[in-house]
Structure 1
Amino acid sequence: MAREDGSRPRRLLLLPSPPSPASFAALKAAYGATLSLALREMQRCSSSVAGAALLEVALPCPHLYGSETAPRSALFARTQSLVAGVYKLICVIAAGEGIDVESADGVDARILLLAYPRNGKLSHVPAEGRAEDDLQGPVIDMGTLAQCGRSWETVYAVESEAGEQLLKNFQALGKGMHNIRKLCGGIVQLSDNDAHDPALNEVRRHFSVAVGGTFDHLHIGHKLLLTMTAFAIEPTTSGDGSERSITIGITGDELLKNKKYADYLESWGARQQATYDFLHTIIDFSPPGGSLQKVEELSNPGPNGHAVNITLPSNLVLKCVEIWDPFGPTITDESISALVLSGETRSGGKAVNAKRQEKGWPELEVFEVDVLDAEEEQDAQGQGVEQAFQSKLSSTEIRRLQSEKASPTRAA
């Protein structure tokens, strides 16, 4: 149900630790039933309020537990594969069951990365640092999640031994009382040892990372890309007050005017706000009223002159830059050392590094996220699922559907 104050519903789902190896089939067996129930309940909530119902999915990552000092670049591939698999599963379920996870009044699912041991025993003592740093994601521990004070009207937990242990830890470390709703779980298959030591040879640490895109009608593909961009940057170490920044290049309105269904494109300001809102959810776990942010809007002449810079309590700066070419700040800011992109835009990463080479600058380390598809489900359920799946991952398709809703007679 909607809250009395009219705000959108907000709930938390505590998943148990994932299968290992975390293939898509194994993730579906472990999480499919749970996610289906949670998404259906959230869809019922969203139909009664303006705005999407927010479902925050706490995803335990055993390989991140006790690894806060390991370079993020060494942990990127494994983390990306897990996050991509769960986001893909959410999309497959939504496509198969007709659940709206793509529009502004559907279900807004966001994955939170939880550094949590497979055995549920919280024996690791985190390194000491500033209080603000302990509240910074995208990788958080159970204490940070339980004590962040977010106003979840319901906390979903899974009916399994691992799920009960995780809920017990959450409640023991938490400050407030929550309405707990238990959902059925699946089968978590374990046939692989989690103790994979990351290869640390020639691994780079990054303190300035970039990503780019239109980010129109923010969808699950964007969420994967932004989550892994936030993951790629090194967390603050004790006593290190140096600036760390994430540069988000967001295409300017003028470059998009010839896009299909351009009348339903979001403005640059709306796209910037949606991008920031998502990143803020997965990065800043400050308690209510405790997130002291500095916001600065720049309007300088020339390329990349328009930007909105938000400095978070941990000193991480989110630089939302209006871009007018495929390169953006990656060829005007030498301090950027890494670029996160999808497999579809791999050639763009090569072009950026070619430009940087011309300037005599170091090449960017390029991190790639998966292009989500539903080939397995198409084989099992037919082409319709694949089409529905793709419509949830395409800004063009989302605009087309909006156009049809606005002009039903023309669509017919």
Structure 2
Amino acid sequence: MKVMVGGTFDPLHIGHQLLLTRAFMTAGPGGHVVIGLSSDSFASRKLHPVRSYDVRFAELTKWIESKHFEATYEIEILFDQFGSALTQDFDALVVSQETFPVGNLINAKRKEMGKNMVDLYQIQCVMAKDGKVVSSTRIYRGEINRYGEPVSEEQFAGTEPCKKE
């Protein structure tokens, strides 16, 4: 099965890892996952700072390789919310609660273009230890770490702030 998933993935936190794991599990052995990774220009729309594409690409690749998934993968650069999801033939799109509306929009546009609609697989948000959603914004604010654990003032003070490019 060919599956698509996309995001900025900065920093790569447990919610992203769940999303990516679901994509690889959906593709299954012998399947293929296309991962759209936001370009620097597309990622600049975020409210928090975002590290460069090259840094995010390297972190994403390292994490995927450490998991030894049975499906193959490729990473493509995203300049908008659609990437190649409007033109490629694929079977499923894995989305979060936040990006589910984009998945519906992709299917609507594919239908308008005479292409097959794809199955949408939605994951639930991952909750931090404080009962709130794990998000990149909360991580950059110093509220939690990438595992959803609270960050002490000493830990946060020792981090290097990320500059918005």
Q: TM-score range by the shorter chain?
A: 0.7 to 0.9
Pick aligned residue for 1:319 from 74, 81, 94: 74
2:5 equivalent to 1:250: no
- Tell me, yes or no, if the aligned pair for 2:8 and 2:37 is still in contact at 8 Å: yes
**Alignment partner of 1:325: what SS?**
coil
Query: Structure 1 residues 234, 274: CA separation in 2 closer, same or farther (over 3 Å shift)?
Result: same
Query: For the structure 1 residues 362 and 400, does the alpha-carbon distance in structure 2 shift closer, same or farther, using more than 3 Å as the test?
Result: same
Q: Provide the residue aligned with 1:366 in structure 2.
A: 120
Partner of 1:228: 22
Match of 2:152 in 1: none
Please, which of 140, 146, 162 is the counterpart of residue 399 of structure 1? 140
Query: Hey, what's the Cα distance between the residues in 2 that align with 1:372 and 1:258?
Result: 23
CA distance in 1, matches of 2:65, 2:74: 13
- Work out the CA distance in 2 between the residues paired with 1:221 and 1:258: 20
Aligned residues: 148
* Distance in 2 between residues matched to 1:359 and 1:282, nearest whole Å: 36
Higher relative contact order (CA 8 A, sep 6+): 2
Q: 1:256 offset after TM fit, Å?
A: 2.4
CA distance in 1, matches of 2:8, 2:119: 22
Give the Å deviation of 1:220: 0.5
Give 1:397's aligned amino acid: R
Matched residues, percent identical? 32
> Match for 2:87 among 329, 332, 338?
332
Structure 1: stretches of 5+ with no match in the other structure:
1-206, 237-243, 285-313, 378-384
Which amino acid counterpart does residue 28 of structure 2 have in structure 1?
Answer: E
**Structure 1 residue aligned with 2:65:** 280
Quote the residue 2:151 is aligned against. none
Deviation at 1:339, TM superposition (A): 0.3
Measured against aligned partners, the alpha-carbon deviations of 1:119-169 in whole angstroms (never above 9, x if no partner) come to xxxxxxxxxxxxxxxxxxxxxxxxxxxxxxxxxxxxxxxxxxxxxxxxxxx
For 2:99, what is the secondary structure of its paired residue?
helix
Q: What amino acid is the match of 2:62? A: D
Inter-CA distance 279–407: structure 2 relative to 1 (3 Å threshold): closer
Matched, 1:353 2:107: yes
- The separation in 2 between residues aligned to 1:252 and 1:212, in whole angstroms, is 11
- SS of the aligned residue for 2:108 comes to helix
Q: TM-score with structure 1 length normalisation?
A: 0.33
2: CA distance, partners of 1:269 / 1:407: 18
Residues 22-37 of structure 1 mapped to structure 2, 5 A cutoff: none
Identify the residue that residue 209 of structure 1 maps to in structure 2. Answer: 3
